[in-house]
Amino acid sequence: RTAPVRAPLPVLLRAAALGAASGSRSSVGVTAVALTSARGDRGRLASGLGSTAGTAASGVFALGELVADKLPTTPSRLAPPALGGRVLLGGTAAVAEARRDGHDPVLPALVGAAAAIGAALLGARLRGVASQRFGSDKPGAFLEDGVAAALGWLGARRPPV
């Protein structure tokens, strides 16, 4: 068993992408890690997420969130429970990715959590602008879905060997 290596810049950038994805859609970062991980990967979290049950559960959660996000009754992402969940899931996705790739997870967790806060604030602002410009926030919501998916993919992809 080897000790984790201090996280280099590419790992921190992937942590930031996973955190930002979670700030946009809370489940996307964790789901992206689940889709790029497998049972038996390094790190208990990535291995569990990469299992059949972990991948299915995170996928169902992500699809439910994509639908719920468009409903008018969905509370603000900036409300304390929602923002706290985004921060927690952004940090969790970053930890899973860092451990899976053999890096110390502390700094990636902090970067992922901070990026989740920034993306949540920016996403709320951009949705407000879209609502004013188009009379609905739906165009902004769908654009944000795509950006969150791209960030999740960038953050969770495995480094080249």
pLDDT at 31: 97
Could you tell me the two tokens for 45?
Answer: 């979290």
Mean pLDDT calculated for residue range 121-134: 92
Digit-coded pLDDT (tens) for 4-28: 678 899 999 999 999 999 999 999 9
Whether the predicted pLDDT of 62 surpasses 90: yes
In degrees, to the nearest 5, what angle opens at C-alpha 96 toward C-alphas 90 and 97?
90
Displacement of CA 13 from its chain's centroid (Å) = 13
153 vs 161: CA distance, rounded Å: 17
pTM value is 0.92
If we measure between CA atoms, which residue out of 129, 88, 136, 128 comes closest to residue 112?
Answer: 88
